[in-house]
Amino acid sequence: MKNIIAKIFILLPILTFAQNFKITEPNVEELKAEMKRTNYTEDVVYLYLNRNFDSIAKKREVIYYNYPDYSICSLNQDFENGINYSIEQCREAGGISVSLTLPKTERKSLVEWVERIFKSSPMDIEHGWNKDKSKFEPTDKGVGCYFEIKETEKNTIVENYCGC
């Protein structure tokens, strides 16, 4: 009996950590409405995170524009479940770069998540996936938003670039 209990205590943490994180599905209509309400000044991924996960740390590595409104052009922030978000859009005409680090994430739910995040943003450019579903990009490889899914041993990273 003691051997069975000991095996359970040994296997339980292994089985728990081995399971992939399933990311919460974005509500496209709510995100579209929020984007419109903020006059499209907020990044849709950041809006999604704030609606679905608790922030566990203050914004850090904050950089402000030198323009009169002095709004934030770059930041890094941690959210629950080991999620990290960073954005950089400080370069003039440089587009916007977002990096989202997640716990090891189930690919199917992440592919659907990327598609729903994309649908939440106002863009009429046709996009599609490459063969292994690691890149979601404009079908003509031109102007638009590029999403790339990268896997590490412990994390899944979604890199997103939108611009010219």
Question: pLDDT by residue (tens digit) across 64-77?
Answer: 988 777 788 999 99
Residue 6 lies in a domain: no
Report the alpha-carbon distance of residue 133 to residue 111 in Å, rounded: 7
Question: pLDDT by residue (tens digit) across 97-111?
Answer: 999 999 999 999 999
Report the alpha-carbon distance of residue 104 to residue 155 in Å, rounded: 4
Question: pLDDT by residue (tens digit) across 16-44?
Answer: 444 689 899 999 999 999 999 999 889 99
Number of domains in the chain: 1
Q: What is the DSSP letter of 105?
A: B
Residue 114 lies in a domain: yes
pLDDT, greater one: 90 or 7: 90
Residue 55 lies in a domain: yes
Mean pLDDT (whole number) for 135-139 = 96
Report the alpha-carbon distance of residue 83 to residue 103 in Å, rounded: 7
Q: What is the mean pLDDT of the chain?
A: 88
Residue 93 lies in a domain: yes
Residue 15 lies in a domain: no
Domain coverage including residue 74: 21-163
- Name residue, tokens 């790339």: 148
pLDDT value of position 3? 53
Residue 1 lies in a domain: no
pLDDT value of position 65? 87
pLDDT value of position 19? 63
pLDDT, greater one: 158 or 141: 158
